[in-house]
């Protein structure tokens, strides 16, 4: 039974049967799938310093965004990279996917590594995004993760999938 539908996600409540035969009422959030991209330029990469209202602070994270209906993951990665950083990539390579929080959502984020960056004239930030593109040395990323400077889960997974 659908209990909420918004522009970006919908929520349903269902009685499900687990593999062990137990029946339980569960709520599942369906936000749609997304992509995250690690733009690499030699020994450096570009991340975002973005204000996230849900946690009330700025965090470092990879450029990312939701897939539009009918849009493939690679096309989304190309689009989101331009929209969020102002750079287009010559090459984007898929590095698998992650489930964000499979205890209550079916959201999948497809991970990409981008190379051959060049400024794009198609750059356009969404009006509700407060974003600064930051250029970081790849050698500093592990320390930033260990120190908690980078604490966004998709970004940590992406860094380790691309550079680990």
Coil/strand/helix, residue 63: coil
Helix, strand, coil abundance in the chain, percent, nearest 5: 20, 50, 30
Q: Which CATH class is domain 36-93+108-163?
A: alpha beta
Mean pLDDT of 3-21: 94
Q: Are the CB atoms for 36 and 63 separated by under 8 Å?
A: yes
Mean pLDDT of 121-147: 89
Give the start-to-end residue ranges of the domains of the chain: 36-93+108-163
pLDDT of residue 129: 80
Once rounded to an integer, what is the mean pLDDT over residues 152-158?
A: 98
Tell whether the model's pLDDT for residue 125 goes beyond 70: no
């Amino acid at each position: 039974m659908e209990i909420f539908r918004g522009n970006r996600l919908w929520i349903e409540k269902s009685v499900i049967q687990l593999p062990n035969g137990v029946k339980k009422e569960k709520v599942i959030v369906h936000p749609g799938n997304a992509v995250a991209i690690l733009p690499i330029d030699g020994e450096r990469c570009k991340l975002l310093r973005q204000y996230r209202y849900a946690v009330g602070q700025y965090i470092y994270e990879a450029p990312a965004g939701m897939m539009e209906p009918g849009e493939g993951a690679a096309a989304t990665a190309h689009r989101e990279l331009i929209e969020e950083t102002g750079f287009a990539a010559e090459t984007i390579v898929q590095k698998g996917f992650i489930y964000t929080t499979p205890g209550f959502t079916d959201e999948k984020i497809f991970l990409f590594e981008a190379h051959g960056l060049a400024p794009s004239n198609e750059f356009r930030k969404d009006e509700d995004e407060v974003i600064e593109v930051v250029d970081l040395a790849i050698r500093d990323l592990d320390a930033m993760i260990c120190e908690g400077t980078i604490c966004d889960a998709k970004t940590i997974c992406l860094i380790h999938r691309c550079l680990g």
